[in-house]
Amino acid sequence: MLLHDGTDRVRVSALAERLWYPLWDSSVRLDHSVRTPAECAEVASRELSAGVGLLDLRLVAGDGELTRAARSTLLTSWRGNARKRLPELLTAVEERHETFGDAAYLLEPDLKEARGGFRDMTMLRALAATWLTDRPHAGVREPYERLLDVRDALHLSSGRALDRLLVNEVGDVADRLEYADPDELHRTVSMAARRIGHALDLTCRAARQVLPVRRAISFVRRERRPEYVQAPHGLIIHSGEIGLDRNTRPDTPLLDLRAAALAAQRGLVLSPITADNLGEHAPAIATPWSASARESFVELLSCGTVLLPVWESLELAGCVVRWIPAWQGISAQPQHNPIHRHTVDRHSVQCVAEAQPHLTRVDRPDLLLVACLLHDIGKLPGAGARHPVVGAPIAREISAALGFDEADVALVERLVREHLTLAELATKRDHRDPATVDALIAAVDGRLETLHLLRCLTEADARAAGPAAWSPWRAQLVNALADSVESQLVGDQPQTPTDLVDLGLARSVSLDGRPRVQLESKPGGLQVVVAATDRIGLFAETAGLLAAHSVSVRSAALHTITTGLLQPVAIATWRVDSQHPGDLPHPTLLSQELSRLQDGDSTMLERVRIRESRASRRPRAARPFIGVIPDASASAAVIEVRTGDRSGLLFALANSLSELRLSIRSAHVSTLAGQAIDTFYLTEADGSLPSTDRVQAALTALTNGA
């Protein structure tokens, strides 16, 4: 901005041209303006974003007195209108955070607009400039400087004025700033953004306290008056925050735990001064923890989503690492999986929050909460898919330090080690196969209590990861397997409504040999249920038929019913990417086309074959994984395929098996984050187990098809 006193506008205009044109010619992005102090004040009063930006007015060159006068005018106007503008300002912060997310947890954070970024620092200064609220004085300048360094390196690396830390730029940025690896850079950005975002949260909370409130009866707007309420353990409640009574020493044993638990239970936060004092002075808790310490800790964990801001305060103050030293290993650790929306530590705390609705469903809610907190404690750099095995002994050590007895420690260790087992068996295996049921029974050590805990942990973990990890389809698969195992453990295996519906469909197909198609509306979308006489190639042809109609399949499950029927009938349930029945071909049309395929007419699949042939020749983003799952079934060879999803892929995979005359007895298909994860249970046409050579041929065919 070119600031002038308004006495010679012609001369100022000429000067502006001499300033701007060289910058424009050099392709420098320039948000320019020419204003007097009065014009600055007028713009600031009219446009909130401009008003906030002008508060950062700094002299580059010229008349310092003119700049000081402009700043004084702007600040006076800002403070005079602060109470009227605060609601708009706070709403703008919330909307921006909702749009751009949280820089502390995103794989590709926007360093400027996301929560914890540069815009939040501007808002901190703007709120402090109102004189209605203060901002935390310590802890934000250094994180801000670190983010500036990262953005400078990003600009040099990309050759562009980028604000978003793109994945393909992270390596070069890390090298320029001499970080050990990209993960260290991510951790630095995460911790910096957490501190800035947390500081703004506290400042916004304080700002809301000074806004007038409307009384329900009198409709008179009055200021909120600070309230001091005495609380247990030498604590007080003041202005929506937990603080220390003036006679309470911050080094009182267990005070940090008790203050945190009280804050979460009341839906409040720790005052910044209290959090800092407890972080600095609270003594370490002697191990093993006493029952009183453990109870306070579990009370803190049991508070649901209100736990999150309290935990963040404690983590930034250093309390969490003092309680659980191993937490340092996962703090701000990035997750390079698009299914996950948070860093490892934040995901773990979110998992605890997601477990709250399940606390009445288990015998030991305390162990459920601790297992949720520690389930990913093994996600250390390099652990990868082995993190449950890596984390189990760490969880054992932590649980023992928390004061649990040996039986409880062993149970937490088992839950951490097996926390992926139920979801993997449910989504990749046939839950009707005895080997699948036996595998889950072994994972829970044959104990119903452990099954209940694992079931709740599985759901909380998936919900914490994000919507893709706990879709209605995946929930149905997990619940079906868990119900099946629970029935076996209690010695009762009644038929479910789904089993009865499938049996009715199978009987009607068995009588006349004609395929049946039903369309079902389920939470999260539509399901196409296909029942037809079982034969080699049926699954492939159905997949091809849906692809021919441009129906996108999100997941599928296939099983075969033989008991009490004249001939085996296959039931395939396809969850499709559509919400409205009108988007799909009519079930009658699909039934007719399946009948034609059954009679040998496959002309409707030619377009799919041509399209798939072209797609298979395109370069792959990543090499597919195709392997046998050992001991998954005693009566079938079980092969898992993981590869990038594409239209017609399932048809290509299933068709490659059909060409080998292998029967797909059962199939479990899902798509997550653009990756197909398909599991096939294969037998020979007569139902016998394929030989080693035949399994190898299937692996080769699937590799070519993928």
Contact 175, 100 (CB under 8 A): no
Per-residue confidence (pLDDT) for residue 45, from 0 to 100: 87
Strand pairing class (553-561; 663-672): antiparallel
Which CATH number applies to 83-213: 3.60.40.10, 1.20.120.330, 1.10.357.10, 3.30.1120.10? 1.20.120.330
CB atoms within 10 A of CB 340: 21
Burial of 72 (0-12, 13-18, 19+ CB in 10 A): exposed
Q: Strands 2-3 and 34-35: what pairing?
A: parallel
Tokens 């449950």 correspond to 388
DSSP tally for the chain: helices H, then strands E:
28, 16
The residue written with tokens 């005052």 in the block is 271
**Can you give the pLDDT at residue 131?**
86
Model pTM above 0.85? no
Give me the sheet containing 516-522, strands edge to edge: 516-522, 525-533, 569-576, 553-561, 663-672, 675-683, 637-644, 625-628
> Which residues, in sequence order, are CB contacts of 358 under 8 Å at separation 6+?
365, 368, 456, 459, 460
Averaged pLDDT, groups of 10, the chain, 706 residues long = 89 89 78 88 88 88 91 89 89 94 90 95 91 74 95 93 91 94 94 94 86 51 64 89 92 95 92 92 95 92 93 94 96 85 94 93 92 97 89 98 96 98 92 90 94 97 90 89 89 53 81 88 80 91 89 83 82 79 85 91 85 67 83 90 85 93 88 79 92 95 89
Please give the DSSP secondary-structure letter assigned to residue 164. B
d(CA 653, CA 641): 9
Q: Tokens representing 46? A: 């009219």
Q: Tell me the chain's radius of gyration from C-alpha atoms.
A: 31
Provide the angle, in degrees to the nearest 10, between the axes of the packed helices 434-443 and 421-428.
Answer: 170
Tokens, residue 37: 């102090």
The predicted structure's pLDDT at residue 366? 94
Q: Please classify residue 610 by burial: count the beta carbons closer than 10 Å to its beta carbon, then call 0-12 exposed, 13-18 middle and 19+ buried.
A: exposed
Beta pairing partners, 557: 573, 668
The predicted structure's pLDDT at residue 219: 46
SS3 82: helix
- Quote the pLDDT of residue 668: 85
Count Cα atoms within 13 angstroms, Cβ side, for 592: 5
Residue reference for tokens 């004061």? 403
CA-CA-CA-CA torsion sign (432, 434, 440, 446): positive
Tokens of 19: 């300033």
Residue with tokens 């994972």: 443
Q: What percent of the chain is helix, strand and coil (3-state, nearest 5)?
A: 55, 15, 30
3 state DSSP class of 381: coil
Per-residue model confidence (pLDDT) at position 214? 47
Domain boundaries, the chain: 2-80, 83-213, 222-480, 497-705
423 with 480: CB under 8 angstroms? Answer: no
Question: Is the distance from CB of 422 to CB of 478 less than 8 angstroms?
Answer: yes
The single-letter code of the amino acid at 41 is: A
Residue 257: predicted pLDDT: 95
Q: Which residues pair with 569 in a beta bridge?
A: 533, 561
Q: pLDDT tens across 587-634, in order?
A: 999 999 999 999 889 888 888 888 777 766 666 656 788 999 998 888
CA dihedral 530, 534, 540, 544 (to 10 degrees): -40
The candidate with the shortest Cα–Cα distance to 641, out of 681, 686, 609, is 681
Kind of pairing between the strands at 241-244 and 269-270: parallel
Query: Using CA of residue 250, residue 254, residue 259, residue 264, what is the dihedral sign?
Result: positive
Q: For residue range 535-579, what is the model confidence (pLDDT) as tens digits?
A: 899 999 999 998 888 888 877 888 888 877 778 889 998 888 765
